[in-house]
Amino acid sequence: MKALRLQQWKSDPVLVEVDEPVPGHGQVVVRVGGSGACHSDLHLMRDFDAGQLPWGPPFTLGHENAGWVHAVGAGVVGLEAGQPVAVYGSWGCGACPRCRLGIETYCEDPAGAPVPGGGGGLGLDGGMAELMLVPDARHLVPLPDGLEPVEAAPLTDAGLTPYHAVRRSWPKLYPGATAVVIGVGGLGHLAVQILKATTAAQVIAVDTRVDALALARQEGADHAVQAGDRITEEIRDAAGGHGADLVLDCVGSTATLALGAAVARPLGDLTIIGIAGGTLPVSFFSVPFELSVQTTYWGSRPELEEVLNLAGRGLVRATTTTFPLEQAAEAYRRLEAGEITGRAVVVPAPR
Ligand code: NAD
Ligand code: ZN
Ligand code: ZN
């Protein structure tokens, strides 16, 4: 079969022929109906050198996947061929306290995981191929009725990551509170919907691109403001003068972190999701009092079930542009050029 593979660091991925996977004991092979093109893959192609991460190429890209059960290995119970499933993408050891709670992103025995700190499309073969090997059936979550794999795929990362981040700030997002989403791409457009579906906060979206701001309004943002000279005042005005109770930074550059700190409210949260690698100086005088600054990484398996529940009830829905596997490299080119509205999803195996 064909697979879009990252062959080495600091290179573009290539479509090559690979062997079809065969499930071993406890494993499942999924026929991939959707594999999202995440901006993190661009960081993988551009930013990293050998030795920086505990894993590396070659591997098949695509860490945001859903499809149908294709074949199950010995010992797998409760899954049938043809059943639609989402793939929980962070694969830990399965046995440590964090993994037992389904928070495999923060596995405490990475040496016991299939790859330390990674998963399918992150060190191991991902979903940008017709078939994908999932090393344990526990990583598969059945899709709610009516949700197609191509719709579910973006929810496993672009949905799950902001869901996890928003969920931990729920107590601060009471009616009258304000949430700011910086960067309305794959993650950000779902962040806006998740905020509207799960809180009564007003939502202010920020982006540099006019198309992204139009999408933010369509997804329910109360205000959409273009990054520019007066952005801080515009956000503070929209927030009623007192700043934002939550800033979700889906870019993570030095400029967006500075903006986040400038518009945050005392006692608020500034949550860094984007991995642009910027820094924020923190001192007694530089950030609002009692501002909590945190990074978050992806989300837990129970949270993925919650995101899928929202989607199954029509409360969250990814805006997507689809590409056949042969066009996967083009999907990334357009993502890098800022030409994607919402999420680009590669479809290796159409329904
Ligand atoms: P994307 O390219 O789809 O969206 C990024 C958006 O940010 C675009 O709309 C872009 O126009 C906008 N933007 C860029 N610079 C900006 C600026 N200075 N001000 C305002 N808006 C700006 O990317 P994505 O796939 O949504 O990913 C977003 C970031 O999150 C990436 O850095 C990605 O690597 C990271 N990510 C992190 C996690 C995690 O677990 N922490 C998970 C997935 C993705
Ligand atoms: Zn991602
Ligand atoms: Zn673990």
Of 144, 180, 135, the residue nearest 162 (C-alpha)? 180
Residue 78: predicted pLDDT? 96
What's the CA-to-centroid distance between 289 and ligand 2, angstroms? 32
Residues with C-beta less than 6 Å from any ligand 1 atom: 38-40, 43, 157-158, 161, 182-188, 206-209, 212, 227, 250-253, 255-256, 273-276, 296-298, 335, 338
* Regions in the chain scoring below 70 on pLDDT: none
Residues with CB in 5 Å of ion ligand 3: 92-93, 96, 99, 107, 109
Residue 257: predicted pLDDT? 98
Please answer whether residues 218 and 196 qualify as being in contact, where contact means their C-beta atoms are separated by less than 8 angstroms.
no
**How many angstroms separate the CA atoms of 321 and 184, rounded?**
15
Task: Look at residue 149 and give its three-state secondary structure.
Answer: helix
Report phi then psi at 341, rounded to 5: -105, 115
Taking each helix axis from N to C end, the angle separating 39-46 and 328-336, rounded to the nearest 10 degrees, works out to 90
The overall longest dimension of the chain from CA atoms, in Å, is 61
Rounded to two decimals, what is the model's pTM?
Answer: 0.98
> Nearest C-alpha to atom 29 of ligand 1 is from which residue?
274
Residue 58: predicted pLDDT? 98
Task: Look at residue 296 and give its three-state secondary structure.
Answer: coil
Please answer whether residues 164 and 296 qualify as being in contact, where contact means their C-beta atoms are separated by less than 8 angstroms.
yes
77 Cβ partners below 8 Å, 6+ apart? Answer: 137
